[in-house]
Amino acid sequence: MMRALVLAALLAAAPAAAQGATLSPVIPTLKRAVTVSSEIVRIGDLVDNAGAAADTPIFRSPDIGTTGTVSVQQVLDALKAHHMYLIDTGTLSAVEVTRAGRTIDFSDIDARIARAFAGRYGLGEAKDLTVTLDVPPRPVVVDASATGNLVLRSAVVSPLSGRFEVTYDLPGSSARRPLRFTGSVVETVAVAVTTRALAPGAIVRLSDVALERRPKSQAGTDTVAATGDAIGLALRVPVRAGQPLRRSDLTVPKLVHRDEEVTLVYEVPGILLTTRGKALEGGAEGDVISVLNVESKRALQGIVTGPSRVAIKSTTARTSPDLVAAVAPRTVASR
């Protein structure tokens, strides 16, 4: 009988206990660390289960991209003003508050400035402009909600000196002062420069030249703009390593040099005659030069056709006797 009464009492008490558990209040709990995106910290940012007071502002947030701390006592004092007294603070002594931000690192600022001046003030395309800043820019942190980019406000350059001043507005920060950059901008062109010192007469090889960008004002209209335009040509003058090559510095290489022993060649249909000769002047391929037949001691006119090889002009010897006199003794090859 007693066990039945106890069981009945327990069954009767169970609904009441369940109802009491449902109605028991949830205690607001202070957070250890929070991140906010606005310039105001609200109660709900700091306290879980803040209820209707969650949207109430109580502190200013730190600067964008920085973290600050506020003591638990300061938080409790601020909450009391809004009639919040029972707060679970655990073992906390302070709360960390971080204001979120987006960092702009200016890694492409040179390209941006080049685009700002491209086609203006007599300057060329952006890819041909070299920008040098007076002071390297430091990263800037803007509001995390500012998803835009830098907005160009002004760009001015001196055509004579190349000195410039550019200002940009930061995204989502109309209250902040514009960013100002100063420096110089120069239009450059590609030029072929020598990789080593070369003497007059040297034939330019692939390893002797490289392509570099130099100020357009210093390049001149005679500058070689491609390495391929210099390879295989000979130098008229000595050049230093790193010196830009000019077209007037180069010439077609001589295949025959003055006083050099050469092979004289006369060709008619069916017959090829060759003999020894001496160059009385130098010449490149295709040049008409004077040569001496060392056997007949006769001076002839010929065309340089290859290294140490001269073709006798047909006007030099028109008939067989003339031909024999011009080149005998000779080598005759039937054609």
Domain boundaries, the chain: 29-99, 104-188, 189-211+222-250, 254-334
**Which residue in this structure is represented by tokens 């009492």?**
9
Token pair for 280: 């009385």
Token pair for 139: 């990263």
The domain 189-211+222-250 having CATH identifier 3.90.1210.10: the answer here is: yes
Assess contact for 288 and 315: CB atoms under 8 A. no
Q: Rounded to an integer, what distance in angstroms lies between the CA atom of residue 48 and that of residue 31?
A: 7
Question: What is the pLDDT tens value at each position of the chain, 335 positions in all?
Answer: 333 333 333 334 445 444 444 555 688 999 999 999 888 999 999 999 988 889 999 999 998 889 999 999 999 999 998 888 889 999 999 999 999 888 888 889 999 999 999 999 889 999 999 999 999 998 888 887 777 788 899 999 998 899 999 999 887 655 567 889 999 999 999 999 999 999 998 999 999 999 999 998 888 889 999 999 999 999 999 999 999 999 999 998 888 989 999 999 988 777 888 889 999 999 888 889 999 998 889 999 999 998 999 999 765 444 444 444 554 444 444 44
CATH architecture of 254-334: Roll (2.30)
Please state whether 334 falls in left (phi above 0), alpha (psi between -120 and 50) or beta. Answer: beta
pTM here is 0.58
Token pair for 265: 């060649």
Rg (CA), the chain: 45
Alpha helices in the chain (DSSP H): 2-23, 43-46, 72-80, 109-117, 216-219, 320-327
Token pair for 59: 């502190």
